[in-house]
Amino acid sequence: MVLCPECDTDLDVDKDELEEGDAVSCAECGTDFEVITTDPLELRPVSDDDDEEEEAKEADEDEDE
């Protein structure tokens, strides 16, 4: 059983099925989490605005040269 770090609600996911980089979302508070590590399990809230975390921009570069 995995609890939501935000509201302690059962996230209804199996810890054994989680892998690093997986995304889980809490049905109760609506927060999305990213699995940072699985042992121990560490979840990081993913916010919509990425002011703090600079995500790698996957620019679809259509270099037509």
At its nearest, how many Å lie between Zn ion and the CB of residue 7? Answer: 4
At its nearest, how many Å lie between Zn ion and the CB of residue 33? Answer: 9
Q: Per CB under 5 A, which of residues 7..36 are in contact with Zn ion?
A: 7, 9, 26, 28-29
The two most distant CA atoms of the chain are separated, in Å, by 53
At its nearest, how many Å lie between Zn ion and the CB of residue 20? Answer: 20
Q: Are strands 41-46 and 32-38 parallel, antiparallel or unpaired?
A: antiparallel
User: Which region, left, alpha or beta, applies to residue 23 given φ > 0 means left and ψ of -120 to 50 means alpha?
Assistant: beta
Binding residues for Zn ion, per CB under 5 A? 4, 6-7, 9, 26, 28-29
